[in-house]
Amino acid sequence: MSDVVAIDLGGTNIRAARVDKNGKILVREKISTHAKEGMAAVVANIAGLVQKVRGPDTVGVGVGTPGVPNHKTGEMLLPAVNIPGSGGFQLTKELTRLTNLPVSADNDGNLAALGESWLGAGKGEPVVIIFTLGTGVGGGLVVDGEVYHGTHNLGTEFGHLSIDYKGRKCGCGNLGCIERYASASAVGRDAREALSAPNAGKSLMLELAGGSIEKVEARTVWDAAGKGDALAIKLADDCCDYLSCAVGSLINSLNPSCVIIGGGMSLAGEPLRSRLQKRIDEGRAFGPIAKDARIKIAILGDDAGILGAARMALNVAEHSVQKS
């Protein structure tokens, strides 16, 4: 059976896997990115990794990268932050030259969405939206098994949906972006601010963080909320109130069959999922549309991006077979 090599280019590590048509991971490898050496050196290291994990039946390579590649030409439209020389780099052309295999590339968020829709929480779903809640808020949209790319692959920046026209200033220049309210960073910040207030009462969050307000983060909030801490419950409720505005607006726009919550904060699991679903069902999305849209928690973890990259490479290989 033919297979593909999937690459997940991260700021710290480059992960590679050989993956078969059914999504079974056959071989894995990981090396340090050494991002400071620049994009040309990073891509040469990726080529070395491809040679190491490829097999006799490998038909292509799929690369997930930070930044935004043009998904048709493989040129980096927006640079991968922290990798010098990545802006404008001919990613797929150079890697094809070095490996002699067809190479495709896409943004890592898009590929996480594709991975979850292929084999994860969105399996079998026709229209899948993903919100990833981490340091920031990312997103992706997969329709009938294909990533939605917009005009120049610059869409699905769900973190910059505004939920308040007079709200908090965002790094993108807008006001009230959901990223400033419902990312893991934002929830941690809100908790530390609440605990630092002059009238702050006792909270289990402080105990869980070893008595240090600085160590309180989003995970502390969800842990304490699960144990019944009143302030943590309020913060968890607030997070889902904010999130429901953005998610509800997207549901109304796109009529998805499911919305998957991924990223580090998705480890909060069912308490997060059920809070969000309740708000959607209670009116944050228009009734008939809300009925279609089930909120789910991502299940593939770190493998979502690798499996999405594999699916993309398999799609390219299948299309070229159909053409010939």
Residue ranges binding Zn ion (CB under 5 A): 160, 170, 172, 174, 177
Q: What is the closest distance, in whole angstroms, from the C-beta atom of residue 203 to Zn ion in the complex?
A: 30
Which secondary structure element, helix H or strand E, spans residue 175, and what is its range?
none
Question: Is the CB of 122 or the CB of 138 nearer to Zn ion?
Answer: 138
Find, among 211, 236, 242, 214, the residue nearest to 223 by Cα: 236
Q: What is the closest distance, in whole angstroms, from the C-beta atom of residue 261 to Zn ion in the complex?
A: 19
Find, among 57, 83, 81, 71, the residue nearest to 111 by Cα: 71
What is the greatest pairwise CA distance in the chain? 71
Question: Is the CB of 115 or the CB of 159 nearer to Zn ion?
Answer: 159
Give residue 75's region: left, alpha or beta (phi > 0; psi -120 to 50).
beta
**Cα 232 to chain centroid, rounded:** 25
Give residue 68's region: left, alpha or beta (phi > 0; psi -120 to 50).
beta
Q: What is the closest distance, in whole angstroms, from the C-beta atom of residue 174 to Zn ion in the complex?
A: 5
Question: Is the CB of 27 or the CB of 175 nearer to Zn ion?
Answer: 175
Q: What is the closest distance, in whole angstroms, from the C-beta atom of residue 169 to Zn ion in the complex?
A: 9
Name the percent of the chain in helix, strand, coil, to the closest 5. 45, 20, 30
Question: Is the CB of 105 or the CB of 170 nearer to Zn ion?
Answer: 170
Question: Is the CB of 160 or the CB of 284 nearer to Zn ion?
Answer: 160
